[in-house]
Amino acid sequence: MPSLRLTPQLIPFAGKHVIILGADFRPRLWDGTATAPPEITNTFTAAYPAWQATTSYITGDFVKPTGAPTQYFKCVQGGTSGTVEPSWPSTKGQRVTDGKVIWENAGAISTSPAPPGAAHGIIHANALFLYNTSPTNTADGLDGPSALRMSDIGNPNSWNPLNAAFIDKDDGMQGTGIATFTISEAGVSSEGGLVLFKEFATHLMTGLFGSANLEIRRIQTDMGCIAPRSTQFVPGFGVARLSHLGIAIYDGTRDRLISEDIRPYLFGGRADIAQLDWSYAHLSRSSQTAVPPMYIIAIPTIGSAGKLNRILAYDLVLKAWTAIDPPFNLSHIHQIRTQGTQPITALCGYSSGSVESWQMGETRGWQTWATNTGVVTNGTQVSWSLRTPDVYSQPATRTYFRQVWVRGVDVNGGTLTIQVVLHNESGESVALPPQTVALGTSSGQFVAKADINRTGLNCYAIVSGTGIMEIEAVVFDVLQKAAV
């Protein structure tokens, strides 16, 4: 199974940063100084009690044979052991009956290696979890495309081989994402868990390895995650990500789509909208903004050759989508959160070497950047436009369109352009000359108008400008006329 091409992850843990490079590469630990960070290792040494005669064992207990054993065994049926030590099988997975107990060969006692790779990582319950740890299943039975491994508490260099599981190992899919989640019900204390994604499946893990309440179950959905770095916990909603049916959110109970309003941007069908390039969909990245609070996902469109050239933004308050085409291609987006400062959403250029701040009250335009000495270079203001819905009365009723009014708030001071497109009785589409309205140099609320003074069946307006501006309302002054 080919491993996914991924953006590396940098995860703070135990005073260092864990660098996740993909299933083909062992994670590394960076202390902030080393130019060649070392790979993670495994210092864990297993210690199992020796088998004893006529002893009560319960399901889940582990023992090692007496003498100089090389393998250990797991109790799969509880009971009382026999008076004579059984003949232990040497093949992993084989079982032997011992009095009322049934033992299963659980593998070699020798210290297992650290995970050989990791496509995804996350910190949960003060332990490091790695998912999709090898492009193929390994001979020791610990790692593979569906493997989930957990480190010891607070130690990225200690990996107990018992703290591992395969998530539907033989279903032909691989782990494509991981996120933390808290489950809460009325009258029940909150419980933390992990949401584990595959391409077309989602699993929920509650409890930890070694605990009595450990449970891994597949949730009732066929939507997984096809873009590993699109997963994002969205406060008040759940875990959002890009699935094969669109952008979906799992809220602990339901898994639902939220992207139907922007379906043409994902699946096409509109000649004037460049859709998502599904050949490179796995490269999509997500983040959040604080002003206003939004879930954002950067996607590659057809013809971009995998470069992220469009941002789809979902407003968490208005529950509405908008599309933004930045003036430069992106490679990654990330929200930087620091105590005592406003969260910053950073947009990383694909080949420009620049890092831009976005949606944090910034008034200096795109491609504003600062040197390490704090010198800020202002960018260019964003050119934007919006199209109103068609305005009409009845299909066969003429309407006299007198004026269109635009009300809003201007931040930078500048101009506003209004162009009206009219459909007349002959079915022709007539674009009236654009009308530019000067708003002045000071910021504040404005009301701009453009004359129409035409009769037609329906019309719409294209409103455009430059810089930061909030459009509050677009109102048409019309008068209904007799039917054609």
Domains of the chain: total = 2
Q: Which of 81, 108, 135 is the last residue of a domain?
A: 108
Confidence of residue 186 (pLDDT cuts 50, 70, 90): very low
Residue 193, helix vs strand vs coil? strand
CB 203 within 8 A of CB 180: no
Q: What are the pLDDT digits (tens) for 197-227?
A: 999 999 999 999 988 889 999 999 999 999 9
CB 365 within 8 A of CB 316: no
Q: Which of 87, 108, 129 is the last residue of a domain?
A: 108
CB 257 within 8 A of CB 248: yes
Query: Does some domain include residue 368?
Result: no
CA distances from 473 to 414, 420, 476 (A): 18, 16, 10
Instruction: Give the pLDDT score at 307.
Output: 94
Would you say residue 4 has pLDDT above 70? no
Confidence of residue 191 (pLDDT cuts 50, 70, 90): low
Query: Does some domain include residue 320?
Result: no
Q: What are the pLDDT digits (tens) for 439-456?
A: 876 668 889 999 999 998
CA 173 to chain centre: 19
Instruction: Provide the residue type at 117 as one letter.
Output: G
Helix H or strand E segment including 290: strand 285-290
Query: Does some domain include residue 313?
Result: no
Query: Does some domain include residue 116?
Result: no
Q: Which of 64, 90, 108 is the last residue of a domain?
A: 108
Q: What are the pLDDT digits (tens) for 6-19?
A: 678 999 999 999 99
CB 7 within 8 A of CB 21: no
Query: Does some domain include residue 19?
Result: no
Confidence of residue 110 (pLDDT cuts 50, 70, 90): low
Cα separation, 193 vs 217, whole angstroms: 11
Q: Which residue has the higher pLDDT, 167 or 71?
A: 167
Q: What are the pLDDT digits (tens) for 126-145?
A: 999 999 999 999 988 899 99
| Domain region containing 413 | 384-480
Helix H or strand E segment including 218: strand 215-218
Instruction: Give the pLDDT score at 171.
Output: 92
Q: What is the CATH number for 422? A: 2.60.120
Query: Does some domain include residue 421?
Result: yes
CA 260 to chain centre: 18
Instruction: Give the pLDDT score at 181.
Output: 84
Q: What is the mean pLDDT of the chain?
A: 88
Query: Does some domain include residue 406?
Result: yes
Query: Does some domain include residue 38?
Result: no
